[in-house]
Amino acid sequence: RAYSRSAEPTSFRSFSVTGEGKVVAIPDVAKFTFSVLTQGGKDLGALQTENTLKVNRAIGDAKGSGVADEDIKTEQYSVEPRYKYFDCRPDYYSSEAKACPPPEIVGYTVQQAVSVKVRDFSKVGSLLSEVVQSGANSVSQLSFTLDDPTEVQNQARAEAIQKAKDKAKSIAKAGRFDLGRLLSIEEGEGYYPVYKYGLGGAESMAMDAAPAPTIQPGSQDIQVTVTLRYEIE
């Protein structure tokens, strides 16, 4: 972490110091997303009903495990037609052009994706298995994080500022000059890792005999970097 001195057009000199604060935090929230994909023929209403029933069962599992309504969010809902395309390439032995019919809709695909926030980690593993058994085709993006990182960010920021101040005093003493006014404070981008737990294909979890995965949230390093710029007296 180097510092620099520079001549200012306003006739004063300044230098900058950087400090980094880090706080180890234990995640308090687990998040994951499940999706239900239903594919079939032209009866779109039946497909939507089937898809909705499966999603509602999975949501019911989440609520039955103590997940609050505000912690369940529909992230995506889509209805996509499936087409049959016709081979309209000209006959090699004929110079006549073929009339090519437009693509024909042969069915639809309905998909819903729902994100769930779980605060009781002891229920995460069983809930992952339950939503698959209820009809979810995919469970992904399991991560552990802090629901409100503000407090630990403030702790890391205070530590970073104190380290930068101490460094500035040390540099001033070594350079035999006095610290002047604090001219500016700049904060770099914080580093807030989210630990993810990858899951394989949902089909492997859909069997009744499949055990619920063991989930370990681990810990996170919350880091904040600040740069202080001082006037040199």
SS3 43: coil
pLDDT tens for each residue of 172-221: 999 898 999 999 999 986 555 444 444 433 333 433 435 556 666 777 88
Residue 9 has pLDDT above 70, yes or no: no
The residues that bridge with 37 in the sheet, in sequence order, are 111
Mean pLDDT estimate for the chain: 83
Residue 8 has pLDDT above 60, yes or no: no
* pLDDT confidence tier of residue 25, bands split at 50, 70 and 90: confident
Instruction: Could you list the beta-strand ranges (E) of the chain.
Output: 5-7, 13-25, 29-40, 72-84, 104-118, 138-145, 179-187, 195-197, 220-232
pLDDT tens for each residue of 80-117: 999 998 877 776 666 666 678 888 999 999 999 999 99
When comparing pLDDT for 141 and 115, which is higher?
A: 115
* pLDDT confidence tier of residue 73, bands split at 50, 70 and 90: very high
| Contact in structure between 228 and 173 (CB atoms under 8 Å) | no
